[in-house]
Structure 1
């Protein structure tokens, strides 16, 4: 084993999970974060992300089932609840509730396929436009608390956290690497894991990767998304998470939790924000026209909410082709970019997958390894 640590760039959900997974294996880990873990400029901040099993592709539903065990372990070891029960509704012609139900059935996930009338009786605060899928095993992830829990556990096992450390370049150094910061600091690494999320596009050509790897790397699309919080008309009502994909708009919603004083539903248009070059262009400005689209949607479709947002925020989606993840390794650099707008629910598992790849325990999942054919990968 090398005398130098494994260096992880990025302490969001993915980086924190990888640090925890490697520290559990007794590996020497240094976790570098450009600001603070789960800061508001990235994709892992706040208290409200959806945990769900519904995917049209059974590959991901099977991964969710595996990830659930990781969440159980994390909750047990951190002695805190990180996923609160809420259940999930899926509806809309483009969401295909019947098709999703078939995937859940094949994976033994409890669910119900309801008519408009049945669903409306149970959730009068939502106007449904067709059959509705309900599965009670869904919930809400407290992303910020999860990041902090994993970082805490990793540090307790010996990992080092260096915050306010902006990685600017990775260079080969003999059998290892040197990671440099914008301020001139450096750390020598045996291997490097890059879990930089929306900052990855700006960092990619500074990782000292082979030219062929850069040429073959999948294109990434970074979007500045925005979410609005709307107050419940009935503060004592029971609101689930939901995904609605209609012909004119695709929207998701979930209880806003601590982010919104527990008094409203977080609602956002899926992939509705502007495309930006990288997280460096994240200006955190709410776009008025996009805001109006969501407000209009709430007025039409969610009568149980007051269509006047009392809080709003922006965040980043970093999308890979086909909404897949990237967990790939070239020589001693592992790139972990599990975003595509749906990575949060897999966080502990993603750390495990990355750790197995880094340590050579297995060859990773082919679907997430677009560069695996390269020499030395």
Structure 2
């Protein structure tokens, strides 16, 4: 019998495997396709890493995650995080509020006026702008490879082409079933299935009360576009998040995915809702493309408003944009979602390890099962709302 079976080899599952194996646990990773495959949420070279949040909890977690990224880079002698700095602005945004939180946390930042910011970057600004230089871009796919390399170096096994169809209690552990009839027995199970979680949730042999306590999961097929830099390849751009009156847009250097010559730009939660990842069709919406191109024409004079590449990806959202890192009996559900989980990847495995080993150190808002059993509402006062979080986004390719 295996010690721990981890379902899914994206950023969350790979992190869990790394940290569990590093701590001496017997681990097998079960991946339906290949690690960081293109139908999931962890492929490609460009995700946003940033500190600006409306809540101190997340700022502190980013700082912990940054230490994990440094550890992972040192272990593999490879660069996963490129510092570019980040900009936050817009009438519906709250750069001043973010600045107060960053100041309290001791994170370097500056509040700039629209004219000063426009003189520094080829974007149009109409409100104060928050700048924090410690932000950057993560190579998600390379991070998955690095974390799995570390997991295997500590004894973990990886099974590919292993589509999980259910988990059933068996004796003191669990039997994990595959669609082709194979099975694995494990003492504990970690479920990091991303956009496939809604389909799998009812087949995990979890207590009904626990499943009822989980927040509703909304899967979206998002779209992202790469626009050429007007100055040509090699232009130095920061990441940005801009909330206009009717949309939230994020952008970041596209890196390897964009041939190092363009900015990745997308509308946050601008994609269509789908039942689960299994329902994605990979088709870009013409209406969304027109909206984003019009945005680029209006707000990003430093880009050529003609996308040279486009793609779809998955967001798996909770109503509050908080993660789900919770446990019932021997099953841990790890759903780092809502478009801002990538930056926390090294930390997600540490939080999973804590749950597996019985340490109660996972932040309360991430444990809806425990909160529902101890209070009448699933989220504590002050946990915030999706509109307040406006997180790092940037899961789209």
Structure 2 distance, partners of 1:102, 1:335, is 33
Q: 2:172 aligns with which of 162, 171, 175?
A: 175
CA contact (8 A) 1:8 1:15 kept: yes
Distance 1:319 1:373 in 2: 19
Structure 1 pair 112–27 and aligned structure 2 pair: CA distance change class (3 A): same
Q: 1:208 is matched with which residue?
A: 205
| 1:249 equivalent in structure 2 | 247
The answer to whether the 8 A contact 1:44-1:143 is kept is yes
SS where residue 47 of structure 1 aligns? coil
Are 2:47 and 2:140, in contact at CA under 8 Å, matched by a contact in 1?
yes
> How far apart are 1:285 and its partner, in Å?
0.5
Tell me by how many angstroms 1:354 deviates.
0.5
Aligned residue runs from structure 1 range 135-150, under 5 A? 135-150=132-147
2:352 — aligned with what? Answer: 354
| SS at structure 1 position matched to 2:266 | strand
Q: Deviations over 1:172-195 (max 9, x none)?
A: 001100000011110001000000
* SS of the residue 1:66 aligns to: helix
Query: TM-score if structure 1 supplies the norm length?
Result: 0.97
Deviation at 1:95, TM superposition (A): 1.4
Query: Is 2:197 the partner of 1:226?
Result: no
Residue 152 (structure 2) aligned to one of 132, 141, 155: 155
- Match of 1:27? 25
List aligned pairs for 1:1-377, cutoff 5 A: 3-123=1-121, 125-235=122-232, 236-372=234-370
Measured in 2, the distance between the counterparts of 1:346 and 1:14 equals 9
CA distance in 1, matches of 2:125, 2:364: 39
CA displacement, residues 126-172 of structure 1 (integer Å, 9 cap, x when unaligned): 11121111110000000000000000110111100001110000000
Tell me how far apart the structure 1 counterparts of residues 129 and 183 of structure 2 sit (CA, whole Å). 53
- Provide the secondary structure at the position in 1 that maps to 2:162: coil
Aligned-pair CA distance for 1:86: 0.5
Give the distance between the partners of 2:342 and 2:290, measured in 1 at CA: 27
Report the Cα offset of residue 373 of structure 1. Answer: 5.7
**CA root-mean-square deviation:** 1.1
Using structure 2 for the length normalisation, give the TM-score: 0.92
- Flag structure 1 segments of 5+ consecutive residues without an equivalent: none
Following TM superposition, by how much is the alpha carbon of 1:215 offset from its aligned partner in structure 2, in angstroms? 2.0
Distance in 1 separating the partners of 2:93 and 2:140: 25
* CA distance in 2: counterparts of 1:321 and 1:228, whole angstroms: 26
Q: State the 1:367 CA deviation.
A: 1.5
For 1:196 and 1:98, the matched residues in 2 are separated by 37
1:374 is displaced (CA, Å) by: 7.8
Whole-Å Cα distance in 2 between the matches of residues 109 and 157 of structure 1? 34
1:47-104 superposed Cα distances (whole Å, 9 cap, x missing partner): 0000000001111111101111111100111110000011000000111111111111
Q: Give per-residue Cα distances to partners, 1:210-236, cap 9 Å, x unaligned.
A: 122222221100010010000001024
Secondary structure of 2:370's counterpart equals coil
**Secondary structure of 2:36's match?**
coil
Unaligned runs of 5+ in 2: 374-397
Q: Deviations over 1:329-368 (max 9, x none)?
A: 0000000001111000000001100011012133532211
* 1:289-342 C-alpha deviation (Å, 9 max, x unpaired): 011100100011001100000001111000112100000000000000011110
Q: Secondary structure at the match of 2:346?
A: helix
Asked if the contact 2:17–2:349 (Cα under 8 Å) also holds between the matched residues in 1, the reply is: yes
Cα contact 1:201–1:220 (8 A) shared by 2: yes
